[in-house]
Amino acid sequence: MITCKVETIDRDAAERYLNLDKGNNRPFSRNHLGDLIGRQMRGEWVVNGDTIRFDNAGQLRDGQHRLRMVKQTGKPIEVVVVRDIDPEAFITMDVGRKRSFGDVLFIEKEENHTQLATTTAWIWRYLNRKMYGAHLGSYEQLQMVLHGHPQIRDSISFYKQLDHLPGEPAYAAISTATHYLFSRVDVEAANDFLKKYVTGFNIPESDAIGVLRGQIVKYASDVRKPSGDQIFALICRAWNASRVNQPVKKKWTLPGKKQASPRITGFPKDLFLESQLSFEDNQDDNDDNGGED
């Protein structure tokens, strides 16, 4: 018979339960463990009903990452522990779609919740100097950025009000994320940049924004399209050139992957966030926080 109980898991209990893992869990992920540890150390951990589960043979079948988190940090957690589950039932678990940050914003009745979520994620990556690679902040971290930068919503509203014509560049979330970051330097210049970039109006042939726009529109028909990180860097390069009225005679060189985070001319350094906490079991990423790529 299945039993369910809320337990306090300390380091000793975590080690004891991990010894009951006989290889029937999902594959271990260092990145997921690092994410959990970061949440706990930042005080974001809450009891939300997620369970640690054992089958009717006493084997650990779900919860290894949370147990490893406690083992590494030594900080106890309260968690629901479910026991005596039929092993055949485990194939039906965790097959649903994970709730996204956009889903969270929808529940909170935010307008433009999908674009707001993706835009905020790009801004989080830039402010943490984690532009390259599969970096994504936790819901709590993204919410913190949105609360600290409420004008992100203004960037999306401005973007939505522009004349959107056929053939405009794609990458809407990157466009609004860079617009917000540029607006921290100069709001009027950021508005002018985004308007020219989206509409293509009144752009001389050698204008940095015009060259950028034509290049990104062309990418839409390419078989191998650039990554979002590369597009973000190109937009920043065009912004830097436009700030000094630098003419451009040819297209921008597409930056390689795992380059330094792109520099935004004039961006306030005090807006950058501290790097995520690093731990012994989550040191796969080596950030290069240099200048323009």
Distance CA 114, CA 213 (A): 24
For tokens 């779609």, name the residue.
97
The b/e string for 122-139 (b: 16+ C-beta within 10 A; e otherwise) is bbbbbbbbbbbeebebbb
For 132-190, write each residue's pLDDT tens digit. Answer: 766 677 888 899 999 999 999 999 999 999 988 888 898 999 999 999 999 999 999 99
Q: Which of 134, 140, 113 is nearest to 45 (CA)?
A: 140
What backbone torsions phi and psi does residue 54 show, to the nearest 5 degrees?
Answer: -120, 145
Q: Which residues fall within 8 angstroms of residue 150, CB to CB, at 6 or more apart?
A: none
What integer best gives the mean pLDDT of the chain? Answer: 84
Residue 75 reports pLDDT greater than 80 = yes
Instruction: Give the pLDDT mean for 15-43.
Output: 86
* Amino acid 282: pLDDT: 31
* pLDDT confidence of residue 91: 62
As annotated, the residues of the chain forming the CATH 3.90.1530 domain(s) are 3-92
Which H or E element spans position 125? helix 113-127
pLDDT in tens, 226-243: 889 999 999 999 999 999
List pLDDT tens digits, range 257-269: 666 679 999 999 9
Q: CA–CA separation, 259 vs 288, rounded Å?
A: 7
Tell me, rounded to whole angstroms, the distance of Cα 61 from its chain centroid. Answer: 29
CATH number of this structure's domain 3-92: 3.90.1530
- Alpha-carbon distance of 152 to 164, in angstroms, equals 20
Looking at residue 216, what DSSP letter applies?
H
- Residue 123, both tokens: 């801004």
Stretch among 54-63, 101-110, 251-260 having the lowest mean pLDDT: 251-260
Q: Which amino acid is at 262?
A: P
